Structure 1
Amino acid sequence: MRALLPLLSVVRGWRVGAAARPPRRVMSLYLTEERGLPHSEDYRLFFRSASVSRLEHMGLFNWQTSCSCNAPESVAGHYISAFHDIPLKVDSPKNLFNMVVEIPRWTNAKMEISTEEPMNPIKQDVKSGKLRFIPNIFPHKGYIWNYGAFPQTWEDPYQKDKNTNCTGDNDPVDVCEIGSKVLSRGDVIQVKILGTLALIDQGATDWKIITINVNDPEAEKFHDIDDVKKFKPGYLEATLNWFRLYKVPDGKPENKFAFNGEFKNKAFAIEVVNNSHECWKAMLMKKCDHGAISCTNVHVCDSPFRCSPEEARSLIESVPAPSMSKEVSKEEERWHFLD
Structure 2
Amino acid sequence: MRAPPGLLRLLAARGWGRPLRRCLGAMARYGTEQRGQPHSPDYRLYFKNPEGKYISPFHDIPLFAGSKEGLFNMIVEVPRWTNAKMEIATEEPLNPIKQDIKKGKLRYVANIFPHKGYIWNYGAFPQTWEDPSHTDKITGCCGDNDPVDVCEIGSKIRSSGEIVQVKVLGVLGLIDEGETDWKIIAISVDDPEAQKVHDIDDVRKHKPGYLEATIDWFRSYKIPDGKPENRFAFNGEFKDKDFAVEIIKSTHEYWKALLHKKADGGTIKCTNVLVSGSPFCCSEEDARSIVQSAPAPVNGDSVSEEVDAWYFFPK
Structure 1 length normalisation: TM-score?
Answer: 0.83
Say which of 41, 44, 59 aligns to 1:84. Answer: 59
Structure 2 residue 23 is matched with structure 1 residue 48 = no
Q: Which amino acid in the other structure matches residue 244 of structure 2?
A: A
CA contact (8 A) 2:35 2:298 kept: no
| TM-superposed deviation, 1:322 | 6.4
Structure 2 residue 247 is matched with structure 1 residue 239 = no
CA contact (8 A) 1:80 1:297 kept: yes
Q: Summarize the alignment of residues 1-339 of structure 1 with structure 2, pairs less than 5 Å apart.
A: 25-50=25-50, 76-91=51-66, 93-321=68-296, 328-339=303-314
Could you report, residue by residue, the CA deviation over 1:117-137 in whole angstroms, capped at 9, with x for unpaired residues?
000000000000000000001
Distance, in Å, in 1 between the alignment partners of 2:295 and 2:114 is 40
Distance, in Å, in 2 between the alignment partners of 1:338 and 1:262 is 22
Could you report, residue by residue, the CA deviation over 1:180-236 in whole angstroms, capped at 9, with x for unpaired residues?
010111100100000000100111000000000000011001111000011111100
Percent identity over the alignment? 67
CA contact (8 A) 2:110 2:117 kept: yes
CA contact (8 A) 2:152 2:186 kept: yes
Could you report, residue by residue, the CA deviation over 1:116-167 in whole angstroms, capped at 9, with x for unpaired residues?
0000000000000000000001111100000000000000001111221210
Could you report, residue by residue, the CA deviation over 1:49-81 in whole angstroms, capped at 9, with x for unpaired residues?
12xxxxxxxxxxxxxxxxxxxxxxxxx210000
Q: Which amino acid in the other structure matches residue 336 of structure 1?
A: Y
Structure 2 length normalisation: TM-score?
Answer: 0.90
Instruction: Name stretches of at least 5 consecutive residues in structure 1 with no aligned partner.
Output: 1-23, 51-75
Q: Which amino acid in the other structure matches residue 156 of structure 2?
A: K
Instruction: Name stretches of at least 5 consecutive residues in structure 2 with no aligned partner.
Output: 1-23
Which of structure 1's runs of 4+ aligned residues deviate more than 4 A? 320-328
Q: Structure 1 residues 48, 29: CA separation in 2 closer, same or farther (over 3 Å shift)?
A: same
SS of match in other structure, 1:249: helix
CA contact (8 A) 2:74 2:150 kept: yes
CA contact (8 A) 2:36 2:295 kept: no
CA contact (8 A) 2:155 2:191 kept: yes
SS of match in other structure, 2:289: helix
Cα root mean square deviation, aligned? 1.4
CA contact (8 A) 2:34 2:297 kept: no
The number of residues matched between the two structures is 291
Distance, in Å, in 1 between the alignment partners of 2:78 and 2:67 is 26
Distance, in Å, in 2 between the alignment partners of 1:33 and 1:204 is 33
Equivalent in the alignment of 2:16: none
CA contact (8 A) 1:40 1:325 kept: no
| TM-superposed deviation, 1:250 | 1.2
Distance, in Å, in 2 between the alignment partners of 1:178 and 1:323 is 32
CA contact (8 A) 1:118 1:316 kept: no
* More displaced stretch, 97-106 vs 85-94: 85-94
CA contact (8 A) 1:42 1:322 kept: no
SS of match in other structure, 2:139: coil
Distance, in Å, in 2 between the alignment partners of 1:323 and 1:236 is 39
Distance, in Å, in 2 between the alignment partners of 1:276 and 1:94 is 17
Q: Which amino acid in the other structure matches residue 59 of structure 2?
A: H
| TM-superposed deviation, 1:293 | 0.5
Equivalent in the alignment of 1:7: none
Could you report, residue by residue, the CA deviation over 1:99-127 in whole angstroms, capped at 9, with x for unpaired residues?
00000000000000000000000000000
| TM-superposed deviation, 1:325 | 7.6
Distance, in Å, in 1 between the alignment partners of 2:157 and 2:147 is 22
* More displaced stretch, 278-287 vs 36-45: 36-45
CA contact (8 A) 1:284 1:304 kept: yes
